[in-house]
Amino acid sequence: MTPAPFSAPVELPLPRTYSAPGVLGRIVAERTQDYAGADFELGKARPRARRFHAALARPGLQLIAEVKRASPSQGAIAPLDPAQAARSYVCGGAACLSVLTEPRHFGGSPEALHAVVAAVTVPVLRKDFVVHPKMLQEAADWGAGAALLMVSVLGEDVGAYLKLAHYFGLDALVEVHDEAELDIALAAGAEIIGVNNRDLTTLAISLTNSPRLIAHARAAGYEGLLVAESGYRTRDDIASIREVADAVLVGSSLAGSGDLERAARELLA
Ligand SMILES: O=C(O)c1ccccc1NCC(=O)[C@H](O)[C@H](O)COP(=O)(O)O
């Protein structure tokens, strides 16, 4: 695929304190503190390879398999070796990988991302709670092909973060949970929208959320890629999004399965 040239001048999002209710609010406050006063210089624009986008745009439902060792909803999931987990997921048919880099609640780390990028050739998403421009620069420096941007955290600032992700050569998975957030993602020009079934303030999951909002996005004329996220455990679970989503992002059920390659293959069968 020909790299897309970067043209627009970047509107740098000013680091500021974001807030959110519940568990999400606690994590966002911690990540804001982690990056307070971070050393950040914009530097040069980097070419966009759009490999993450291309991998998800292939025909059929694509799998983004997540390297997830723990979570607020499950506690400890599995003491995965990131590189080994990544190789197993790819052998099981994953098109892309998602790697958590948040350390306190998800057992993630920059090292996990480095290890995965070195172990496989498929594009890798940096999964974190982006609250500072430095986090996108790090994602690019660490070899990720994409970063997560959450509308529930960034609100209208997601547009500026999206442009910055592109400036750094990254694709962005812009995550929404309800209609209002979807409208913000659409207005921001998101090329890839993820619909989370998990309400991150209560941690409750509803598998009807993704198909509902995916239908809503398509009805609004959205032609970008749509990813269903969270709570999927079985082939039956993904039946409702198989024909409507471009990809499904799965973490806990694969990571905790004991046989990651087989679990990924069986989910996609
Ligand atoms: O997974 C959690 O408990 C969680 C809690 C608070 C904020 C975010 C959280 N998860 C992040 C994710 O988006 C999921 O890791 C991802 O969608 C995969 O979900 P699952 O397959 O249900 O592990």
Rounded distance from Cα 71 to ligand 1 centre (Å)? 7
Could you report the predicted ipTM of this complex, rounded to two decimals?
0.98
Sign of CA dihedral 56, 62, 67, 72: positive
Residue 8 is given by DSSP the state S
Closest approach atom of ligand 1 to CA 71: 3
Query: Going by CA atoms, what residue is nearest to atom 16 of ligand 1?
Result: 230
CB under 6 Å to ligand 1: residues?
23-24, 66, 68, 71-73, 196, 200, 203, 229-232, 249-253
The predicted model scores a pTM of 0.95
Q: What is the pLDDT along the chain (269 residues), one digit of tens a residue?
A: 334 444 445 777 877 889 888 999 999 999 999 999 899 999 999 999 999 999 999 999 999 999 999 999 999 999 999 999 999 999 999 999 999 999 999 999 999 999 999 999 999 999 999 999 999 999 999 999 999 999 999 999 999 999 999 999 999 999 999 999 999 999 999 999 999 999 998 999 999 999 999 999 999 999 999 999 999 999 999 999 999 999 999 999 999 999 999 999 999 99
Rounded distance from Cα 222 to ligand 1 centre (Å)? 25
Please tell me the total number of residues recorded for the chain in this structure: 269
| Backbone angle region of 240, left / alpha / beta, with phi > 0 → left and psi within -120 to 50 → alpha | alpha
Exposed/middle/buried for residue 227 (C-beta within 10 Å: 0-12, 13-18, 19+):
buried
